[in-house]
Amino acid sequence: FFEEAGYIHLIIKDNGVGFPESPNIHEYWSSGLKLVEILVKEQINGTIDFHVSQGCRVAVSIPDQVSVGH
């Protein structure tokens, strides 16, 4: 992870089979990945990006001053 311009970035990657390349990657997500996306986007106002070529790479960026909603 690293900090930059008021955000904390976390990148997780591997070189395994990953997800199939698809214009709609969401159709392959488990309920756990859907939950992670909801928490990142809606609870802590962050972003999450998936890249699926040559394995899988997940990049999560959240503001370094997080205000969690109720």
Distance CA 45, CA 24 (A): 22
Task: State the pLDDT at residue 68.
Answer: 55
Task: State the pLDDT at residue 70.
Answer: 45
Task: State the pLDDT at residue 17.
Answer: 76
pTM for the model: 0.72
- DSSP per-residue letters across the chain: -EEETTEEEEEEEE-S--SPP-TTGGGG--HHHHHHHHIIIIIS--EEEEE-TTSEEEEEEEESS-----
Divide the 70 residues of the chain into consecutive groups of 10 and give the mean pLDDT of each group. 90 81 68 86 90 84 72
By the 8 A CB rule, do 27 and 19 touch?
no
